[in-house]
Structure 1
Amino acid sequence: MKKIIILALFTCIFGYSQEFYVKPYLQDATPNSIKIMWETNFGEESFVEWGVTKKLGKKVSGKAFDINFTEARVHEVLIEGLQKFTTYYYRVKTGTLVSDIYTFKTPPFASDDKAFNIVAMSDMQIDRRNPNKFTEIIQDGVLSYLSDEFEGGVPDNLALVMIPGDLVSSGSEYDQWQHDFFRPIQPLGSQVPVYPVLGNHERNSVFYFKYFSLPENGTPAFAEHWYYKDYGNTRIIGLNSNEGYRIKDQLRWLDSLLVRTAENDDIDFVFAQLHHPHKSELWLRGEEDYTGEVVKRLENFTNKTGKPSIHFFGHTHGYSRGQSQNHKHLWINVATAGGRIDEWGAYAQKNYDEFTVTQAKYGFVMVAVDPNDGNPKFTVKRVSRGNELNPENNVITDSITIYKNAINPEKPMAVSPKGKVDTLKPLLTASVFKSDNDQAFHAASQWQVSESDDFEKTIFNSWKQFEDWYYDQNLQKGDDLKDEIALNLKPGKTYYWRVRYRDQFLQWSEWSEVIKISTEK
């Protein structure tokens, strides 16, 4: 009480008025609860008024805590007793300071079979040459896109925001959180919850852990470093790929979680997010082997359960979309939402088989999840803002749809060669792509040559997509995927070859019949 009186006198004498350092934003939503947070320059009072109309009518209090050893306070209020998939209005109050009225919508349960959208973006740390880029991404990008594509308000059309790291340039700099992250994202974060993971630029800062109230369902000793959150039929897993946390404890937790997820019939899809890429076409130095351990686990999970998965990442400042060879698992770099673009030719780079598209551009990713009873699916779209030389206004530059259950293409027929061949570089040819799915097209082929008909050890293995955008060129242009030149053959040897086809939904056909060939001495 003494502290409040002293502050009140100080305000009267010196004109020191209350203000928001960070306006209200949402955290950790469930069908029946949500957390609301904000920051003020001083004041312990933490109230949220809420209701199903703008009249509000209900009030709940929470807690306030220190953020940087000054009078500034972060406030956190938990609202409980909410109804699933319902729109609510709210405003926050600290002393004489009262916010505008905002809205949010609670998540559905998986059994409700409600479709929803997710935004994924990362690496919005400020580029001093383009200091307003993140603001542009939010205002002209995400909010404008939602307004153009859908009817209704933001909470009606967006469930949540995923951010795989690098929210600010330096997480240990207190002011950057207010000015560089929360101020630009406020129009979005006040209406839908934001779920980040740590990037290298956060520097494991205490500010990150004070500003975010994430699910505490990870390893207890590493609270909020890794966690999971369910929304409808989708499980979102947040991981920490930073140095010092590339440890077995995290992998053991992930293994256990994936076992439980496999047994949970309510979950159709798993979306993981972590900062560092396993492979990166634009910036090889940014690659991290630990992420590869995560990818293996997600691939095995998808293979065993039939539940498609994605790992979202950032770190490299550009967009990439790839896929695992033998699993319905996507690799998606969702950067950059503000950090300086990693340009082609600026670093050591490589064209990987896994990636179909890489673009040195600003933008964000939209994921539309449809839990349709018969065959749940999700669609990933890259919404591009272009770059400094070629700006774009929310152009869809890449898209892929994945079904939980899909129709496999027909087994292709291996056409030629057969028997003896007179070259060490024979042209392997196969039949036309066919599928009972009218929407499917020929999206990839895999060709193998082996010295044994069990293909335990291949001497030639080619996996190509129908497109391969690298260095702003489609390196697969004109390839119909029905033939391939075999390499590495030797004279006077017997070989076996086969081929299989894949559609754009990541469904493989069976392998063709095995063909025996022999080279001349």
Structure 2
Amino acid sequence: MAIKEKFTELYGPNWYNKVNLILHTGDMVGDGSNLVSYETEYFNPFSVLSCSVPFMISIGNHEGENNYFYNYMHYEDFSTYQYPNSLCEKYYAFNLGNVQFLAMNMAGAYDNGAQKQWVKNRLDESAANPDIDYVFAYAHRPGRSELWPDGNASFVYDSIYPLFATYPKLAMHSFGHSHNYEHGTYINNNSENRDFRTILAGGAGGALDRWDMYPNQVDLRDVQVSYDHYCYVIVDVDLSDHSYTASMYSLGNPEYPLYNVLLDKWHSVVGCDKPQTPQAAYPGPTCPGTAPTLIASLFSGADSLMSSRFQLITASGDFNTPLLDTLRDWTNIYGVTPTYVPVDKNTGMGLRRLKLPAGLLQIGNSYKWRVSYRDHNCRWSDWSAPADLLVQPQAADSIDFVADTLYGIAPLTVHFTDLSSVTPTAWLWDFDNDGTFDSPLQDPVWTYTNDGVYTVNLVVSYNGSLGYKLKTSYIVVGASSNDELDALPLQIYPNPAKDYVMVHPQAPLNQPATIEISDISGRALLQHHTLLQEDVKISLNTLSKGVYIIHVKTPDKIWKKLIMKY
């Protein structure tokens, strides 16, 4: 059996000492009223695993609430209710390590408020238990499926999922019913901005639900990966790191055969910070034309970027009822090619950008937009501050770019963002205008290791044409040194400055100090001697517009910072 072979590969011949349990989401037999089928369809096929590790099963609709299931599968020790209560074993819960498991009954007979209250009570217990990091819920029917929508359970999606979303420890809901694999996420409503995963892993043995088998198959925005494959998922929980990783192994299908191939993987880490709040970078406050591209700032966080969400409203509107609410993910595997190869519809998609559809904005009207990022730890950033958009007539298409910093001390890392409205299909960047192209990326990162003043050139290809944008003396880099740049006990403001700068000691230095302003080459232009016991005002009236280095020197230390005069 493929699962046992993978266990042996991962954990060695004594794999059963590493594998604690196997979760089964029901439909273990085709007909729960047929006693023989339990032997031929479950006990015999799974005996190579069930002889060594326990199977924890949530009943499926094919078992039909038949007593044969409950006679064989004894879970009364984990049930909140005890016989003769009719709810004994119908749904149950247990803790193992730092995980609470909820085996729900979503086969149809118990889609009611009593089970929902039971779920809430168990979630309240885990929320109050500091030893529980995660809750893994599992049941038979899906909330929503892309490949087989007729199998959806409204009770799961409309009643249970909103409850799940309020508990940040609820990490994963696994289910079957549809015979395939789907991996999605559900938007949270909890204090940690943490979503939970939805995992359809029903492709264990029954006839597969295939692409193009049903006319109502739909690409759902909260499902990122769908395969019409036989499959299984292995979840490794690390108690010491308060984390888990999950891996889906595929056995393919008759037209696209695979064997124990890793096709999907995800993880979670408790205590990992959410992403930093992005900025609605461009355009704003004016907008050129009615179909601009919204551009967010670079993603920054402890994990990697998984998704972006853009919202647009009228200037007097409410983000709870936006004109546009677009959620996009790092991948969207949906459908297959004529040769049955899975298709990623999001290949090449940049999550920082969103091209607005024509007809949404009107010239002369005002709007607001904002953006949020989700990382692969399933945590969302806070929303950016809204950016204003006053829509103006479309100017001629242009080639343009911007850098996130224009000056600094070497080594200086600069992130460039393409702002071209000509819809480029290719980019070539020359970061020092030496005639050699340095990057073909749309939004590259470049580190300047030497001091100097740099001209940047961007060449783009669009509509069969070439165009360029040259920004002269765009990046100014000061010489590096062993000065203690990270230990500056001073504030220097305003910066950029027009007539003067203030040097404000966070605490009196009480020692002689020299404040010196030099040009980028290091040539001293101004000097001021002080004890730095209070604020010092330095006039810039004798300096031309440009970038300078301000040095603060004491007998034992030197600090420096770049300033700009405008």
User: When the two structures are superposed, what TM-score results if normalisation uses the length of structure 2?
Assistant: 0.64
- Give the equivalent residue in structure 2 for 1:341: 208
Aligned with 2:136 (options 242, 254, 271) = 271
Aligned with 1:324 (options 172, 183, 186) = 186
Aligned with 1:456 (options 315, 320, 338) = 320
Aligned with 1:407 (options 273, 291, 312) = 273
Say which SS state the counterpart of residue 507 (structure 1) adopts: coil
- Give the equivalent residue in structure 1 for 2:20: 159
Matched letter for residue 297 of structure 2: S
Task: Report the Cα distance in structure 2 between the residues aligned to 1:221 and 1:211, rounded to whole angstroms.
Answer: 17
- Give the equivalent residue in structure 2 for 1:364: 232
Task: Report the Cα distance in structure 2 between the residues aligned to 1:169 and 1:244, rounded to whole angstroms.
Answer: 18
Task: Report the Cα distance in structure 2 between the residues aligned to 1:164 and 1:223, rounded to whole angstroms.
Answer: 18
How far off is 1:510 after superposition?
Answer: 2.3
2:468 maps to 1:468 = no
8 Å CA contact 1:496–1:516 kept in 2: the answer is yes
- Give the equivalent residue in structure 1 for 2:379: 507
Matched letter for residue 462 of structure 1: T
Matched letter for residue 165 of structure 1: G
How far off is 1:410 after superposition?
Answer: 2.3
CA displacement 1:433-476 (0-9 Å, x = unmatched): 222x3xx3222111011124762321111110011000021111
How far off is 1:518 after superposition?
Answer: 2.0
Task: Report the Cα distance in structure 1 between the residues aligned to 2:66 and 2:86, rounded to whole angstroms.
Answer: 16
- Give the equivalent residue in structure 2 for 1:443: 306
CA displacement 1:90-149 (0-9 Å, x = unmatched): xxxxxxxxxxxxxxxxxxxxxxxxxxxxxxxxxxxxxxxxxxxxxxxxx1x110001111
How far off is 1:414 after superposition?
Answer: 1.8
Aligned with 2:176 (options 314, 321, 325) = 314
- Give the equivalent residue in structure 1 for 2:242: 376
8 Å CA contact 2:311–2:371 kept in 1: the answer is yes
Task: Report the Cα distance in structure 1 between the residues aligned to 2:170 and 2:349, rounded to whole angstroms.
Answer: 28
8 Å CA contact 1:380–1:400 kept in 2: the answer is yes
Matched letter for residue 382 of structure 2: E
8 Å CA contact 1:154–1:191 kept in 2: the answer is no
Aligned with 1:295 (options 156, 161, 165) = 161
8 Å CA contact 2:186–2:196 kept in 1: the answer is yes
Task: Report the Cα distance in structure 2 between the residues aligned to 1:286 and 1:421, rounded to whole angstroms.
Answer: 45
How far off is 1:156 after superposition?
Answer: 1.1
Higher relative contact order (CA 8 A, sep 6+): 1
Task: Report the Cα distance in structure 2 between the residues aligned to 1:233 and 1:511, rounded to whole angstroms.
Answer: 31
Task: Report the Cα distance in structure 2 between the residues aligned to 1:285 and 1:519, rounded to whole angstroms.
Answer: 44
Matched letter for residue 35 of structure 2: Y
Structure 2: unaligned runs, 5 residues or longer? 189-193, 336-341, 394-566
8 Å CA contact 1:308–1:402 kept in 2: the answer is no
Task: Report the Cα distance in structure 2 between the residues aligned to 1:448 and 1:353, rounded to whole angstroms.
Answer: 15
Distance change (3 Å), C-alpha of 1:413 and 1:257: same
8 Å CA contact 2:165–2:187 kept in 1: the answer is no
8 Å CA contact 1:450–1:496 kept in 2: the answer is yes
2:20 maps to 1:196 = no
Task: Report the Cα distance in structure 1 between the residues aligned to 2:133 and 2:326, rounded to whole angstroms.
Answer: 31
2:125 maps to 1:260 = yes
Runs of 4+ more than 4 Å apart: none
Say which SS state the counterpart of residue 176 (structure 1) adopts: helix
Say which SS state the counterpart of residue 328 (structure 2) adopts: strand
Matched letter for residue 443 of structure 1: M
CA displacement 1:139-166 (0-9 Å, x = unmatched): 1x11000111112413212100111110
Structure 1: unaligned runs, 5 residues or longer? 1-138
How far off is 1:520 after superposition?
Answer: 4.5
Matched letter for residue 9 of structure 2: D
Matched letter for residue 25 of structure 2: P
- Give the equivalent residue in structure 1 for 2:80: 218
Task: Report the Cα distance in structure 2 between the residues aligned to 1:434 and 1:249, rounded to whole angstroms.
Answer: 43
Matched letter for residue 369 of structure 2: W
8 Å CA contact 1:216–1:223 kept in 2: the answer is no
Distance change (3 Å), C-alpha of 1:254 and 1:485: same
How far off is 1:492 after superposition?
Answer: 3.5
CA displacement 1:304-358 (0-9 Å, x = unmatched): xxx2421100011100111123333000001211011101000121111111110
Distance change (3 Å), C-alpha of 1:346 and 1:434: same
- RMSD after superposition: 1.6
How far off is 1:250 after superposition?
Answer: 0.7
Aligned with 1:355 (options 204, 210, 223) = 223
How far off is 1:417 after superposition?
Answer: 1.1
Matched letter for residue 163 of structure 2: R
Say which SS state the counterpart of residue 277 (structure 1) adopts: coil
- Give the equivalent residue in structure 2 for 1:283: 148
Matched letter for residue 379 of structure 2: Q
- Give the equivalent residue in structure 2 for 1:208: 69
8 Å CA contact 1:449–1:486 kept in 2: the answer is no
Matched letter for residue 376 of structure 2: Q
How far off is 1:513 after superposition?
Answer: 2.3
- Give the equivalent residue in structure 2 for 1:486: 356
2:101 maps to 1:250 = no
Larger radius of gyration: 2
Matched letter for residue 144 of structure 2: K
How far off is 1:402 after superposition?
Answer: 0.8
- Give the equivalent residue in structure 2 for 1:133: none
Matched letter for residue 503 of structure 1: D
How far off is 1:245 after superposition?
Answer: 1.3
8 Å CA contact 1:172–1:202 kept in 2: the answer is yes
- Give the equivalent residue in structure 2 for 1:495: 367
Task: Report the Cα distance in structure 2 between the residues aligned to 1:312 and 1:325, rounded to whole angstroms.
Answer: 16
How far off is 1:422 after superposition?
Answer: 4.0
8 Å CA contact 1:308–1:404 kept in 2: the answer is no
Matched letter for residue 448 of structure 1: Q
How far off is 1:294 after superposition?
Answer: 1.6
How far off is 1:407 after superposition?
Answer: 2.3
User: When the two structures are superposed, what TM-score results if normalisation uses the length of structure 1?
Assistant: 0.69
Matched letter for residue 237 of structure 2: V
How far off is 1:498 after superposition?
Answer: 0.9
- Give the equivalent residue in structure 2 for 1:183: 44
8 Å CA contact 1:298–1:309 kept in 2: the answer is no
Task: Report the Cα distance in structure 2 between the residues aligned to 1:156 and 1:351, rounded to whole angstroms.
Answer: 41
Aligned with 1:171 (options 32, 56, 65) = 32
Say which SS state the counterpart of residue 43 (structure 2) adopts: helix
